[in-house]
Amino acid sequence: MEGLDTHVPMILRDGALYDPDLDRFFLDLPLSGVPSRHSLRAYAYDVAVWVRFLAAACGKHVWAAGREDVAGFHRARRREDAGTRISAASWNRAVAALEKLYRWGEAEGLVAQTPFTHRAIWRRGHAGGRGRMTGRNDAYERAAKRADVRFATLEDYRLFRDVGLRGLTLDGGERPGARDRNGARNALFAELLVTTGLRLEEASSLFAAELAGLAPAAAADRQVWLELPQGLTKGERGRRVLIPRRFVQQLLPYLAVERASAVTKFQARSGWRAIERPIFARAIDPGSRVRLRDGGSVSMDALTPDERGRLVLCAEDGAPAEPAALWLTEVGQPVRPNSWEAVFARASRRCAEAGRPIRISPHQLRHTFAVHMLAMLIQHRLAEASPSAGPMAGYRELLGDPLQQVQRLLGHASLATTYIYLDHIASRADTVDAAVEELLALLPARPRA
Question: Does residue 289 lie in a domain region?
Answer: yes
Q: Is residue 447's pLDDT more than 60? A: no
Q: Higher-confidence residue: 385 or 7?
A: 7
* pLDDT of amino acid 173: 79
Q: Higher-confidence residue: 15 or 100?
A: 100
Rounded average pLDDT over 164-190: 84
Q: What is the DSSP letter of 385?
A: -
Residues 341, 401 within the same domain: no
Last residue of a domain, one of 76, 104, 120: 120
* pLDDT of amino acid 409: 76
Q: Is residue 349's pLDDT more than 70? A: yes
pTM: 0.71
Question: Does residue 355 lie in a domain region?
Answer: no
Residues 342, 374 within the same domain: no
Residues 254, 326 within the same domain: yes
Residues 209, 319 within the same domain: yes
Residues 337, 398 within the same domain: no
Q: Is residue 72's pLDDT more than 50? A: yes
The full length of the chain comes to 449
Domain extent, residue 323, equals: 156-350
Last residue of a domain, one of 120, 135, 165: 120
Highest mean pLDDT among 33-37, 282-286, 430-434: 282-286
Q: Higher-confidence residue: 149 or 344?
A: 344
Highest mean pLDDT among 141-145, 262-266, 352-356, 439-443: 262-266
Question: Does residue 147 lie in a domain region?
Answer: no
* pLDDT of amino acid 370: 86
* pLDDT of amino acid 372: 82
Q: Higher-confidence residue: 342 or 386?
A: 342
> Residue-wise over 372-385: b if at least 16 C-beta within 10 A, else e?
bbbbbbbbebeeee
Question: Does residue 48 lie in a domain region?
Answer: yes
Residues 345, 367 within the same domain: no
Residues 179, 315 within the same domain: yes
Q: Is residue 177's pLDDT more than 50? A: yes
- Measured CA to CA, the distance from residue 159 to residue 315 in angstroms comes to 42
- Measured CA to CA, the distance from residue 383 to residue 377 in angstroms comes to 10
Q: Is residue 394's pLDDT more than 50? A: no
**What φ, ψ does residue 222 adopt, rounded to 5°?**
-70, -25
Q: Is residue 359's pLDDT more than 90? A: yes
Residues 339, 375 within the same domain: no
Question: Does residue 448 lie in a domain region?
Answer: no
Q: Is residue 378's pLDDT more than 60? A: yes
Rounded average pLDDT over 316-331: 96
Range of weakest confidence among 91-100, 305-314, 388-397:
388-397
Q: Is residue 384's pLDDT more than 70? A: no
Report the CATH number at residue 275. Answer: 1.10.443
Q: Is residue 435's pLDDT more than 50? A: no
Residues 57, 15 within the same domain: yes
* pLDDT of amino acid 445: 45
Q: Say which amino acid occupies 357.
A: P
At 264-305, the pLDDT tens digits run 999 999 999 999 999 999 999 877 899 999 999 999 999 999
Question: Does residue 62 lie in a domain region?
Answer: yes
| Burial of residue 119, with CB atoms counted within 10 A of its CB: 0-12 exposed, 13-18 middle, 19 or more buried | exposed
Range of weakest confidence among 156-165, 189-198, 230-239, 314-323:
230-239
Residue 69 near residue 55, CB atoms below 8 Å: no
Q: Is residue 327's pLDDT more than 60? A: yes
- Measured CA to CA, the distance from residue 54 to residue 64 in angstroms comes to 9
**What φ, ψ does residue 326 adopt, rounded to 5°?**
-70, -45
Q: Say which amino acid occupies 91.
A: W
Band of residue 430 on the pLDDT scale cut at 50, 70, 90: very low
Band of residue 439 on the pLDDT scale cut at 50, 70, 90: very low
The percent of residues in the chain predicted with pLDDT above 90, rounded, is 51
* pLDDT of amino acid 436: 42
Q: Is residue 380's pLDDT more than 70? A: no
Residue 419 near residue 356, CB atoms below 8 Å: no
Number of domain units in the chain = 3
Q: What is the DSSP letter of 79?
A: S
At 221-258, the pLDDT tens digits run 888 899 999 999 987 888 989 898 889 999 999 999 99
- Measured CA to CA, the distance from residue 37 to residue 29 in angstroms comes to 10
* pLDDT of amino acid 381: 65
DSSP string, 169-186: -TTS---TTTS-TTHHHH
- Measured CA to CA, the distance from residue 54 to residue 336 in angstroms comes to 34
Last residue of a domain, one of 350, 384, 404: 350
Residues 258, 340 within the same domain: yes
Q: Higher-confidence residue: 154 or 179?
A: 154
**In DSSP terms, which residues pair with 207 in a beta bridge?**
325
In 3D, which of 359, 352, 349, 333 has the Cα closest to residue 266?
A: 333
Question: Does residue 149 lie in a domain region?
Answer: no
- Taking the C-alpha atoms of 370, 376, 382 and 386 in order, what is their torsion angle to the nearest 10 degrees? -80
Residues 162, 305 within the same domain: yes
In 3D, which of 150, 148, 149, 153 has the Cα closest to residue 430?
A: 153
Band of residue 145 on the pLDDT scale cut at 50, 70, 90: low
Q: Is residue 391's pLDDT more than 60? A: no
CA distances to 24, 378, 436 from 395, in Å: 51, 11, 21
Residue 404 near residue 415, CB atoms below 8 Å: yes
Q: Is residue 392's pLDDT more than 50? A: no
Band of residue 419 on the pLDDT scale cut at 50, 70, 90: low
Residues 276, 244 within the same domain: yes
